[in-house]
Amino acid sequence: MLAVLAPGQGSQKPGFLAPWLELPGAESRLRWWSALAGVDLIHLGTEADAEEIKDTARTQPLLVAASLLAAEHLPMHDVALVAGHSVGELGASALAEVLSGETAITLAGVRGREMAAACALDPTGMSAVLGGDADEVVEAIARHGLHPANRNGAGQIVAAGALDALAKFAEEPPASARVRALQVAGAFHTPYMAPAEQALAAMAGGVTTTDPARILLSDMDGAAVIHGREMLQRLVRQVTSPVRWDLCMRTMRDLGVTGIVELPPAGTLAGLIKRELKGDGAPEIVTLNTPADLPAARDLIARHGMAPTHEPTPLFWVVVANSAGMFRPVDGLAEGDTIAVGQAVGQVMTRQGSVEVTAHAAGVLTEWLASDDDPVAPGQPVARIGGPS
């Protein structure tokens, strides 16, 4: 299985988009997206220095634009799974066809501006916690009145909150852990971003979505999201919710991902995955940073992606679990019963509670693919629904 990943804020580098401007149509595309985002993406991606592209309002649409621009040159029809880190989820949602590219760019512009404005309200920041026991680190973060904003796996958790609390936390680090202050504008993915979430929610109400065309993972819990409207709601809530990239990597491992392409500016997510998903079965990774990397990325997709087929499309759909846990079918629902769109067919029991599993197509329940109390992973089929006869 092949996954394409979109990186988040902090991965940008001065001039990283310059080589892509040499491709036909790239400059005009970026000019159009600049109008939607309200920033000059060409200047930011080619001439701006590190300080300028550190600005949240500028960086977020720049990163989404970079992912979409590079993905246009990949055979995405052979890609089974997409995911993004933080603002990268907007790019991933467009690659899953939940959002149009224009919508993703526009939302990134709003998200960046509103998060920058929220950062100006209170003196806040973020610090990386490297090493230590994960549970002990999270407990220590909470004890200092801070929030675990990012749980990136591979021994990396990011604490966020008030600057004075972060300073005290650095003086009293958890056992066997190092604390390093990050050069960011504020406490992203915490309640401090509530004004930005509200602004994004107000705009999201007018956005049109479609259901994902491929597996789309959510940063909130690593779940495979199967409804476009739900993904949009998660994108809004993610502004104040922790990024659980550790759970996204766990889902990729559980689903058997064997190949990964990281979109530009690539390297950050590849590094996390190499440290977390190592040993036998570790995925092969291509970091796509310039057009010169496109042949390697296309080759990886050809070898690990979904093979094209000329067989007729089967007249059935599968219902998949959207979380990891134990599956429980709805009482009394049996093979041969008629299923409506949006009807619940079961629940996945997780540590955080039950998560409803619903059908995204109408038809007849032809076969259960998971039984009562079977362990399931995100994206795993649990039932087959036949089309109208």
* Catalytic (active-site) positions: 86, 189
3-state secondary structure the chain: CEEEEECCCCCCCCCCCHHHHHCCCHHHHHHHHHHHHCCCHHHHHHCCCCCHHHCHHHHHHHHHHHHHHHHCCCCHHHCCEEEECCCHHHHHHHHCCCCCHHHHHHHHHHHHHHHHHHHCCCCEEEEEEEECCHHHHHHHHHHCCCEEEEEEECCEEEEEEEHHHHHHHHHCCCCCEEEEECCCCCCCCCHHHHHHHHHHHHHHCCCCCCCCCCEEECCCCCCECCCHHHHHHHHHHCCCCCECHHHHHHHHHHHCCCEEEECCCCCHHHHHHHHHCCCCCCCEEEECCCHHHHHHHHHHHHHHCCCCCCCCCCCEEEEECCCCEEEEECCCCCCCCEECCCCEEEEEEECCEEEEEECCCCEEEEEECCCCCEEECCCCEEEEEECCC
